[in-house]
Amino acid sequence: MSYKLGDVLISREEIAKRVKAVAAEIACDAERDKPLVIVGILTGAAFFLTDLVRELPEELDVRVDFMSVASYGDSTKTSGVVRIFHDLKTNIEGKNVIVVEDIIDSGLTLSHLLGLLKGRNPASLKVCVLLDKKERRQVEVSVDYCGFSIPDKFVVGYGLDCAGMWRHLKDIKYVIEE
């Protein structure tokens, strides 16, 4: 199967504006006297996480770590099998944690990941996603901070890819299967 780029769904200007708003929500909720561990899910969330943490106030004690998990491979459909390629280096026990993900659709990957992280006894565990495809949800996952709700279409750009292509795009665009 081959793919081509479709129209812009969310422009770089809309993304920048919403990232600032989400960072403001997080800053408002954050406890000033406790470290906040931001866990980015590689590779897709790297762009969003980078811009997000740069918008957080300097007085917050923000720690950043990454995990690499996957359930898509080279397809536009989830396999349902979640694999962990890189785990956290940070001990999250007793800490406030926010998992930052590029997109949630079926909820399978994030649900699995949250179950794993809850077992590590964080003080709190919240979820921040750039994009939410509620129509595709198979497993209910609570999202605390959301950039945009989008329709059930495959999208790329701003960190999201299709078989490794188009992560570098500044806008979020639809993918058309040919």
Question: Using one digit for the tens of pLDDT, what is the confidence trace for 161-170?
Answer: 998 899 999 9
First to last CA, the chain: 6
Q: Is residue 91 in some structural domain?
A: yes
Three-state SS at 172? strand
Q: Is residue 103 in some structural domain?
A: yes
Cα–Cα distance measured from residue 158 to residue 82, given in angstroms and rounded to the nearest whole number: 23
Q: Is the pTM of this model over 0.85?
A: yes
Q: Of 26, 39, 5, which Cα lies nearest the Cα of 110?
A: 39
Q: Is the pLDDT confidence value at 60 over 70?
A: yes
Q: Is residue 102 in some structural domain?
A: yes
Q: Is residue 25 in some structural domain?
A: yes
Q: 28 vs 60, 97, 103, 147, CA distance in Å?
A: 11, 15, 23, 16
Write down the pLDDT at residue 77. Answer: 53
Write down the pLDDT at residue 70. Answer: 72
Max CA distance (Å), the chain: 53
Which residues carry out catalysis?
A: 105
Cα–Cα distance measured from residue 171 to residue 4, given in angstroms and rounded to the nearest whole number: 15
Q: Is residue 177 in some structural domain?
A: no
Distance from the Cα of residue 20 to its chain's centroid: 15
Mean pLDDT score, 103-126 = 93
Q: Is the pLDDT confidence value at 89 over 80?
A: yes
Cα–Cα distance measured from residue 140 to residue 106, given in angstroms and rounded to the nearest whole number: 9
> What domain range includes position 155?
3-171
Q: Is residue 178 in some structural domain?
A: no
* Helix or strand holding residue 7 (H, E): strand 3-10
CB-CB contact of 114 with 127 (8 Å): yes
Residue 135 dihedral angles phi and psi, to the nearest 5°: -60, -25
| Residue 59, domain CATH | 3.40.50.2020
Between residues 26 and 106, which one has the greater pLDDT? 26
Q: Is the pLDDT confidence value at 58 over 60?
A: yes
Number of structural domains the chain divides into: 1
Write down the pLDDT at residue 152. Answer: 93
Q: Is residue 46 in some structural domain?
A: yes
Residue pLDDT, tens place only, 14-47: 999 999 999 999 999 998 889 999 999 998 999 9
Q: Is residue 67 in some structural domain?
A: yes
